[in-house]
Structure 1
């Protein structure tokens, strides 16, 4: 294993742990038991990558390498006893989640490209990898989902994925393209957190009364 591969593997494990932590925090807010903590942590930590691999019709990553599932279980157990300490660091949690989101986006995009997927499909896989786990977490926890909030989250994911695709299109090494995509996604998300940036939302216009002639 080269140094670059080892670094990517370590960061991937770290991103899984961060997502698992956010899932366990939802379980803590619902005052659930330890098995529920494990379920929420695993669903969030490996849910996005599982969906990605199923859609790409490749072996699911955590079945090949159970270390990912083990990380989710360990995080869940630790959080069952330390959730109150972590939950008080809300800003830190948001920044850590941004890191996990950015990395998951570029990994999902790169994996799809390496399997020969088109640019559009690769971006979609990056989006699913970074957000599906959080959507599952929020749905199970009956909390407002990522896709129902006007935050710059999915758009940051897409920008990171598009950057990876662009680098690949112009013949750049995949590692360099992933690094660029990671920096773009992370920077956009952190800027949104720091300055409370949001995208414009749809506002319906008042319709004309029924029966009114043009």
Structure 2
């Protein structure tokens, strides 16, 4: 990979990553608002939500945890949570709002996690896909546990599956030598479409005999 291409890929990773930080931090702040937390609670939950999945990925890949050396992500998360706190947005259904911001973060981190693992750490594609799923779902799981909610990944929601699809599309296209920026955009959209459909139509994956449920009806 040439220096110019490497810089373009890193710019794409940074763009998706910073976007994911912001929208995941907002989802954490909204969850904190539902629990009527104070400003410190907002910042804590929002920041952990934004940084949690990527931090775990970096530890497992034996990378330096990036935001501890370049704290741009930390600042973005803090700013996003403070804006959410002070704007006092009147959202009638905070769960739905949290779900949509979470869907955007899920999509962004599915592609950044899998791209960092595949291109920068050069792990096998299966490991890269798993890292994408873990990066995408880790922050949301921590957020839900800290706010006393059952994590979406444990509720039968089309959540980890959406992240898996996006990471698979992203890594699969890169193995076919598609431009990483195009692969990341495609993976982002794959995750967002699946997760968005799940939010709109209440699609859930159930146990054997109830494999797919749409709006509470078994399929």
TM-score by length of 1: 0.85
Q: Contact 2:27 / 2:97 at 8 angstroms: preserved in 1?
A: no
Partner Cα distance (2:41, 2:200) in 1:
32
Find 1:105's aligned residue among 107, 110, 116. 110
* Superposition deviation, residue 184 in structure 1: 1.2
Partner Cα distance (1:128, 1:4) in 2:
21
Task: List per-residue Cα deviations over 1:56-76 (Å, max 9, x = no partner).
Answer: 011112123211101111122
Find 1:43's aligned residue among 34, 41, 48. 48
* Superposition deviation, residue 77 in structure 1: 1.8
Q: Does 2:74 correspond to 1:69?
A: yes
Find 1:143's aligned residue among 149, 170, 175. 149
**Which runs of 5 or more structure 2 residues have no equivalent in the other structure?**
211-219
**Which runs of 5 or more structure 1 residues have no equivalent in the other structure?**
205-214
* Superposition deviation, residue 162 in structure 1: 0.9
Find 1:78's aligned residue among 83, 88, 91. 83
Find 1:196's aligned residue among 202, 205, 213. 202
Q: Contact 2:173 / 2:183 at 8 angstroms: preserved in 1?
A: yes
* Superposition deviation, residue 159 in structure 1: 0.6
Find 2:166's aligned residue among 155, 160, 166. 160
> Quick one: structure 1 residues 52 and 35, their matched pair in 2 at CA, closer, same or farther if it must change by over 3 Å?
same
Partner Cα distance (1:35, 1:158) in 2:
33
Partner Cα distance (2:52, 2:91) in 1:
22
Count of aligned residue pairs for this structure pair: 204
